């Protein structure tokens, strides 16, 4: 466990502090923030140096891909290829706790460090107002792995973030407690949609949305 440091800024979910958080992110910094699941660790998903800094802060294996948060389907389509099933799911559950793995759009602006070993990208529009306000203020895609050392329990509060990562990050945006549930992950890159993880959105709801298609 890393001890909290005085140099880590603890920001509130106010417009002024969210603007400060967005500026930290623009300067290749790391900012933890609440989502509809747990606290995520944000970095500019287009910035190689920022993404590498995130991997180091979490001691995360370098080949393990990152989820990227966006504001909506329009923005997501800049980075990934959305076929009809992907668009159906995004339309039904975004913003919300559904992560979609799609083929990465060739030549997109995302850092290659997001998924060094593959040509796919995991995207989500978060169903949390603080996270969405931060995305609007930053005006770009953000990484969002859980804001904890790799292998540790995912944090549900700003205090847990500070106790876990401490001075390895630049700021934490305190938006209160998170529910702690994981996002549901659906892979749409190889034929029939595949449920990789059932989280806040059930398999039944996903299948009802995809009819007549079914999850494999």
Over residues 6-24, the pLDDT tens digits come to 589 999 999 999 999 999 9
pLDDT of residue 3: 45
Q: How far apart are CA 113 and CA 49, in angstroms?
A: 9
* Residue 6 confidence (pLDDT): 52
Is residue 95 one of the residues assigned to a domain?
yes
Residue 36 lies in a domain: yes
Identify whether 165 is part of a domain: yes
Q: Which residues contact 56 (CB under 8 A, 6 or more apart)?
A: 168
Calculate mean pLDDT across residues 79-89.
96
Mean pLDDT over 58-79 rounds to 95
**Those residues with Cβ within 8 angstroms of residue 192's Cβ, 6 or more apart along the chain or in another chain:** 213, 214, 215, 216
Is residue 84 in a domain? Answer: yes
Please say if the pLDDT value at position 108 is more than 60. Answer: yes
Which tens digits make up the pLDDT trace of 123-173?
A: 999 999 999 999 999 999 999 999 999 999 999 999 999 999 999 999 999
| Residue 78 falls inside a structural domain | yes
Average of per-residue pLDDT across 24-29 = 98
Q: Is the pLDDT of residue 216 over 80?
A: no
Q: Is 76 exposed, middle or buried (0-12, 13-18, 19+ CB in 10 A)?
A: buried
Distance CA 94, CA 90 (A): 5
Report the CATH number at residue 112. Answer: 3.90.870.10
- Mean pLDDT, rounded, for 32-40: 97
In a domain, 57, yes or no: yes
Note the pLDDT of residue 94. Answer: 98
Whole-number pLDDT of residue 116:
85
> pLDDT category, 62, cuts 50, 70, 90?
confident
Does residue 213 carry a pLDDT above 80?
Answer: no
The b/e string for 184-205 (b: 16+ C-beta within 10 A; e otherwise) is bbbbbbeeebebeebebbeeeb
Q: Which domain holds residue 15?
A: 9-179
Report the alpha-carbon distance of residue 156 to residue 37 in Å, rounded: 8
Q: Considering its fold, how many domains does the chain have in total? A: 1
Residue 87 lies in a domain: yes
Rounded CA gap, 69 and 76, in Å?
8
């Amino acid at each position: 466990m890393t001890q909290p440091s005085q140099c880590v800024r603890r920001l509130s979910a106010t417009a002024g502090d969210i603007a400060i958080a967005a500026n930290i992110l623009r300067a290749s910094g790391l900012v933890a923030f609440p989502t509809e699941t747990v606290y995520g660790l944000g970095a500019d998903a287009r910035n190689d140096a920022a993404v590498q800094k995130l991997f180091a802060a979490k001691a995360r294996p370098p080949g393990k891909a990152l989820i990227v948060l966006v504001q909506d389907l329009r923005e997501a389509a800049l980075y990934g290829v959305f076929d009809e099933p992907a668009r159906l799911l995004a339309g039904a559950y975004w913003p919300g706790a559904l992560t979609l793995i799609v083929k990465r759009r060739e030549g997109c602006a995302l850092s290659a460090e997001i998924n060094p070993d593959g040509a796919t990208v995991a995207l989500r529009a978060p169903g949390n107002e603080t996270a969405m306000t931060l995305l609007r203020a930053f005006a770009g895609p953000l990484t969002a792995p859980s804001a904890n050392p790799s292998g540790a329990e995912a944090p549900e509060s700003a205090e847990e973030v500070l106790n876990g990562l401490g001075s390895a990050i630049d700021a934490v945006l305190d938006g209160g407690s998170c529910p702690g549930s994981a996002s549901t992950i659906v892979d749409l890159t190889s034929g029939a949609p595949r449920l990789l993880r059932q989280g806040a959105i059930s398999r039944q709801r996903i299948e009802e949305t995809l009819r007549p298609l079914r999850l494999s």
